[in-house]
């Protein structure tokens, strides 16, 4: 039987909040109870440890520690203030990602999983987009046509950034394009009473259909790939 633990992933672009016991670090975790949801347990745990309001997003990853018989559920947590050590209780530490190789973090591999977990960050961004739809007065009045204009403007800024060849600036503009594209999808669905999942499902199905080699254990040439793509596109 595995114990199930809910863990808080609370970080900014270069630092993460960890619990410290002796010389061992770990994510802030709580063991699940029958009467409360994981989100409620984490909120209660963090309320005693963080001097700021926090918001627990949906679960975005899992990890199994077979040796200790633990199943970890990873939840991204938004701190509604700028992260600083002053906000944290004495058993919590704000540590730079660049220093993680110098400390012991349990369970082994969990921080590597977090840093590589693009699906977790996409879910976090999706949560921010959904909160914008539900709670942002600016987005509430925003029309779909305006959202498209914003997206086009961000693409123009991305093209300008490309000319600078500054990796950090280009990455920031790519992020802006991604956010505005997702926001445009959600605004369109809000205004047309449909679900964003239908838009995401449609494009995933289309690309899967046109690129079947992605799901096969065979290598094909560029010419073969282009031929399959065009054949299948003509059949739609």
Encode pLDDT of 50-82 as tens digits: 999 999 988 888 999 888 899 999 999 998 889
What pLDDT does 98 receive? 85
By residue count, the chain amounts to: 236
Domain identity same for 24 and 111: yes
Q: In this model, does residue 101 exceed pLDDT 90?
A: no
Task: Give Dmax over CA atoms of the chain in angstroms.
Answer: 64
CATH code, domain with 23: 3.90.79.10
Q: Look at residue 47 and give its three-state secondary structure.
A: helix
Q: How far is CA 127 from CA 41, 117, 134, 137, 178, in A?
A: 19, 16, 11, 17, 14
Domain identity same for 45 and 100: yes
Instruction: Flag whether 128 is in a domain.
Output: no
| Residue 215, token pair as written in the block | 């799901």
pLDDT tens figures, 108-166 = 788 788 878 788 888 889 999 999 999 999 999 999 999 999 999 999 999 999 999 99
| Residue 199, token pair as written in the block | 């838009």
pTM score: 0.77
Domain identity same for 29 and 90: yes
Q: In this model, does residue 172 exceed pLDDT 90?
A: yes
Domain identity same for 156 and 211: no
Domain identity same for 7 and 80: yes
Q: In this model, does residue 106 exceed pLDDT 90?
A: no
Q: How far is CA 107 from CA 17, 104, 178, 202, in A?
A: 15, 9, 32, 38
Q: How far is CA 33 from CA 3, 38, 104, 105, in A?
A: 10, 8, 28, 25
Instruction: Flag whether 123 is in a domain.
Output: no
Instruction: Flag whether 125 is in a domain.
Output: no
Domain identity same for 36 and 108: yes
**What is the count of structural domains for the chain?**
3
Confidence of residue 22 (pLDDT cuts 50, 70, 90): confident
Q: Which residue has the higher pLDDT, 18 or 23?
A: 18
How far apart, in whole angstroms, are the C-alpha atoms of residue 191 and residue 183? 12
Which DSSP symbol is given to 212?
G
Residues 230-235 have a mean pLDDT of 94
How far apart, in whole angstroms, are the C-alpha atoms of residue 100 and residue 176? 29
Instruction: Flag whether 131 is in a domain.
Output: no
Domain identity same for 34 and 86: yes
CATH code, domain with 155: 1.10.287.1080
Q: Which residues of 194-221 are buried (b: 16+ CB within 10 A; e: fewer)?
A: eebeeeeeeeeeeeeebeeeeeeeeeee
The set of long-range contacts for 53-60, using a CB threshold of 8 Å and a minimum separation of 24, is: 53/79, 53/80, 53/81, 54/8, 54/10, 54/78, 54/79, 54/80, 55/80, 56/8, 57/123, 57/124, 57/127, 58/123, 58/127, 60/9, 60/117, 60/119, 60/120, 60/121, 60/123, 60/124
Domain identity same for 106 and 8: yes
Instruction: Flag whether 126 is in a domain.
Output: no
Domain identity same for 66 and 10: yes
Range of 229's domain? 197-236
How far apart, in whole angstroms, are the C-alpha atoms of residue 183 and residue 110? 31
In which residue are the tokens 């082994």 written? 108
Domain endpoint, select from 83, 118, 153:
118
Instruction: Flag whether 140 is in a domain.
Output: yes
């Amino acid at each position: 039987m595995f114990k199930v633990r809910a863990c808080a992933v609370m970080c900014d672009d270069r630092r993460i909040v960890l619990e410290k016991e002796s010389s061992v670090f770990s994510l802030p975790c709580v063991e699940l109870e029958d009467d409360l949801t994981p989100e409620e347990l984490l909120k209660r745990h963090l309320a005693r440890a963080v001097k700021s309001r926090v918001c627990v997003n949906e679960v975005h990853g899992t990890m199994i520690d077979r040796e200790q018989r633990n199943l970890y559920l990873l939840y991204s947590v938004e701190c509604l203030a700028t992260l600083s050590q002053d906000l944290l209780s004495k058993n919590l530490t704000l540590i730079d990602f660049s220093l993680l190789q110098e400390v012991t973090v349990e369970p082994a591999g969990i921080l590597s999983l977090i840093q590589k977990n693009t699906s977790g960050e996409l879910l976090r961004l999706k949560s921010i987009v959904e909160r914008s739809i539900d709670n942002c007065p600016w987005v509430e009045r925003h029309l779909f046509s305006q959202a498209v204009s914003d997206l086009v403007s961000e693409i123009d800024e991305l093209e300008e950034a490309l000319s600078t060849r500054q990796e950090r600036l280009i990455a920031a503009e790519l992020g802006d394009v991604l956010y505005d594209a997702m926001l445009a999808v959600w605004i369109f669905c809000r205004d047309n009473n449909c679900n964003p999942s239908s838009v995401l499902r449609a494009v995933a199905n289309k690309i899967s259909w046109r690129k079947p080699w992605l799901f096969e254990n065979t290598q094909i040439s560029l010419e073969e790939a282009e031929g399959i793509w065009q054949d299948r596109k003509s059949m739609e």
